[in-house]
Structure 1
Amino acid sequence: MTTQPRGLDIGRPASLIAALPAVLGFVPEHSLAVVTVDNAGPGAELGAVMRVDLSAGLAENTDHLAEVVGAGGPEGAIAVIIDEFGSECEACGTDHLELADALARSLAEEGVDLFAVLVVDRVAAGGRWFCADGCGANGVVDDPEASPLAAAAVLDGRRLYRRRADLQEIIAVTDSDRSERLAQTIAGHARFEPTAAQVRETAHLAMVVAARLADGTEPADAELVRLARGLSDPRVRDILYALAVGAAAADAEALWAMMARVLPEPARPDVLVLLAFSAYARGDGPLAGIALEAALQLDPRHRMAAMLDSALQSGMRPEQIRGMALSGYRTAERLGVRLPPRLAFGQRAG
């Protein structure tokens, strides 16, 4: 789920569909997107957007999606089915109507009205949309790159991706040989309980390595091993979460993404959650969701990952998440770690 600034004219299907890439962070394909709506009527406002892959059994499994939609207490929702063969496949019309009916029933059980179900062949300028129930309404999609939300995303420093797979590449392991080498080194060290001094050293190392990476210098294996081992301590993680709201947030996020691509599986969940928290705190729900999905696949019991995933799915806004970083500043102060100054919400880190 992702949330976006209010005020989009969702009464125009062409505009609503064109806004999906800016909201999701990528151009959806073969998907079902559900947009929650508040203040139904002329002043309707965009709430949150959820997306799932279209699949043969989706119509029989809409209850969980409806629960997620209903958790935010919206007045209603609009569904968009993205199916490149939708307008040319006679049998698809029946499938779309079946999915629309199933989703409407599931949402009704959560107290949410399904205002409309639209089908579109592609989310691009010139794409064709129409009503799933054959109401006769149809039209041409606006240019997604000209969407007000696309402009807002660019101003916020968010990158928009052509495909979801492009977004997943941010965290995909890119050097399996190095990952295996790091795994052997990490496994060769006995688990330890770091002292306060070692916690300070690890936090300082993370900031130094992040700054060097921003200047184009990759971390050495020994540094990655020290950081990976340090992340096993909750005090270290608490302090490093705080970097997401400080002046070095962009450098830290780049380091977490780089580490996610090279660390072996036992060490990846913690760094993936650091990346997710950083992305979530600056309003990049799509990247946060991708990172959390990967973290929970590796460690379904990861508490912070589960908590952030629940917050993201319930539509909790970034400014609320940023407050969680304050505990990291308190931990840093208690242990004598000097962190970069906090930035006001909406202020971009360099």
Structure 2
Amino acid sequence: MSARQMKLGLFLWATGHHIAAWRHPDAHVTAGIDIDHYIMLVRTAEAAKFDMVFCEDAAGLREANVQIASQTSRSIGFEPISLLSALAVQTQRIGLVSTASTSYNEPYGLARMFASLDNLSGGRAGWNLVTSASPIEAANFGSTGLRPHADRYERAREFATVVTGLWRRRASGHDGLSFSVRDPLDIVPSPQGAPVMVQAGASDDGKDLAARTADVVFSAAQTLEEAKAFYDDLKGRLAAYGRQPDDIKIMPGVAPIVAATKAEAQAKYDALQELIPDDVGVALLSSYLSISDLWRYPIDGPLPELPESEGMKSRQALVIEQARRDGLSIRQLARYFAGARGH
């Protein structure tokens, strides 16, 4: 039987993925705006033979309450394409993947931006396509509110068609429901031909879009059964789009706590958990559940029944399932998800 090689990616969060890690005495608090720190992280990942680094993005503060936003590690940082362009000239082999939203960009501009990064890096760029699920972001772009989930994905499907057409240098333009594009891109293809397409949606719409377009899919699951069900579902959708199961790589997220012994690792994790203010933990949980008034429920009581969201449907379902399966209170659930956000 032939050997199979594991693909490794680093979710690049300057002060650590744990929402309270920046408060640890050993943390580099201003790492999010320290380019030398980012260079050190990415060079370390490259030396360790990682395949990619990944920068997520949101075009706005992550929490509606500014006081709470000031207590998290998510409120300061570089625009990711600018950051990855700087990192491209400091590395040789590692892939450089960034989130960019189909809701708050236009296809031609985004295609040109990623094609430029792809050339600057010698063919190492990737685009993580998201539709954006936060009303906070919507308010920064003159929108009257968050678009319905189905509408966001309808726009995303056409958006992806336009972008991939531009990267493949199709001669004819595009005139569709949401977009009209006349010219080809003013930049040549990179050594890899076009940026890698990445997706992370786990709703039916998200999995369908991934089956159409993605080379890589990021996933979150709390049990092996959940992970296998997601894997089988997504791989089973590929044939409808003329694709083979191996055309997509699925990369599940994990948040490792590393130490010399299990006891030391547990102590490190417990110390990080103690740094989470309850209001920050509940605010983060509220954002994943797309509910603004979670605080009105007893924090040591069970998660209430919630209506289906127009936000992050798949992550909302994962959070609710975890709460019901393990009998977690709101406080316990908030602390659990503050550590790894569902991974």
Q: Determine if the TM-score, normalized by the shorter chain, exceeds 0.5.
A: no
Which structure dedicates a bigger proportion of its chain to helix? 1
Larger Rg: 1
TM-score w.r.t. the length of structure 1 is 0.25
